[in-house]
């Protein structure tokens, strides 16, 4: 059993106690990365707490040979999708999918994740030759997948549309009554 698998087995219950999901454990080149997430995301205090607990647990079990660096992190805005549960959680989101080389059709798809069940997913590509046409993919056909964060343009301060009630307020302040042109006191 490799280091990442052994660490995953030991760390998963600890992470679950904190109502978090253990997304992934990777061990490469002396770096042990533990990726956790929560229903509402994770903040720095939570990551710090989990990091301390994972470090103590790893010291107790001596699972990682030699020197290593521990990193406990969140999956970020564009997170990998690897399990059925992860795909199900992100139904309705924009995703990027790369299929395995043997799969017919476009190798890379980006679009809305329409459905996810025990066998695979349905994606509606937003670009390319298959744009707008639902495509079913078995999990075994997917090389990798991730969510795609889409930036929404925000108006510059002072440049956005006027609030709807702003015009009404100006009329009331003007002291004029609609229709008669007479001045009234407020």
Residues 117-130 pLDDT 10s: 999 999 999 988 88
- Count of residues for the chain? 186
Domain interval for residue 102: 84-147
Alpha-carbon distance of 102 to 123, in angstroms, equals 18
| Mean pLDDT in residue range 102-130 | 93
Q: 């995703």: which residue's tokens?
A: 95
CA 91: distance to chain centroid? Answer: 11
Q: Is residue 123 part of a domain?
A: yes
Full-model pTM:
0.62
182 falls within a domain: no
* pLDDT tens readout for residues 159-170: 655 555 544 444
Determine what percent of the chain is predicted with pLDDT higher than 70: 82
Residue 160 lies in a domain: no
Question: In this model, does residue 46 exceed pLDDT 60?
Answer: yes
Whether residue 14 is found in the same domain as residue 69:
yes
- Our count of domains for the chain comes to 2
Write a three-state SS string for the chain.
CCHHHHHHHHHHHHHHHCCCEEEEEEEECCEEEEEEECECECCHHHHHHHHHHHHHHHHHHCCCCCCCEEEEECCCCCCECCCHHHHHHCCCCEEEEEECCCCCCCCEEEEEEEEECCCEEEEEECCCCCCCCCEEEEHHHEEEEEECCCCCCCCCCCCCCCCHHHHHHHHHHHCECCCCCCECCC
If asked whether residues 96 and 53 sit together in one domain, one would say no
Do 69 and 88 lie in one domain? The reply is: no
Q: Is residue 12 part of a domain?
A: yes
- Please report, for the domain that includes residue 102, its CATH number: 2.30.30.100
Residue 53's domain is classified under what CATH number? 3.30.300.20
- DSSP strand pairing (69-73 vs 31-37): parallel
Angle at 41 between CA 52 and CA 55, to 5 degrees: 15
Residues 20 and 59 in one domain: yes
């Amino acid at each position: 059993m490799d280091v990442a698998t052994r660490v995953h087995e030991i760390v998963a219950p600890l992470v679950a106690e904190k109502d978090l999901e253990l997304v992934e454990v990777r061990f490469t080149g002396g770096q042990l990365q533990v990726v956790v997430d929560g229903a509402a995301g994770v903040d720095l205090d939570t990551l710090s707490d989990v990091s301390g607990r994972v470090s103590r647990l790893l010291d107790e079990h001596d699972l990682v040979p030699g020197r290593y660096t521990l990193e406990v992190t969140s999956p970020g805005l564009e997170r990998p999708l690897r399990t059925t549960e992860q795909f199900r959680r992100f139904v309705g989101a924009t995703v990027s999918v790369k299929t395995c080389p043997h799969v017919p059709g476009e190798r890379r798809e980006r679009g809305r994740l329409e459905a996810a069940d025990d066998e695979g997913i349905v994606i509606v590509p937003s670009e390319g030759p298959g744009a707008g046409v639902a495509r079913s993919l078995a999990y075994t056909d997917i090389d990798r997948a991730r969510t795609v964060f889409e930036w929404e343009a925000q108006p510059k301060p002072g440049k956005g549309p006027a609030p709807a009630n702003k015009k009404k307020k100006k009329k009331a302040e003007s002291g004029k009554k609609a229709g008669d042109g007479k001045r009234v006191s407020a």
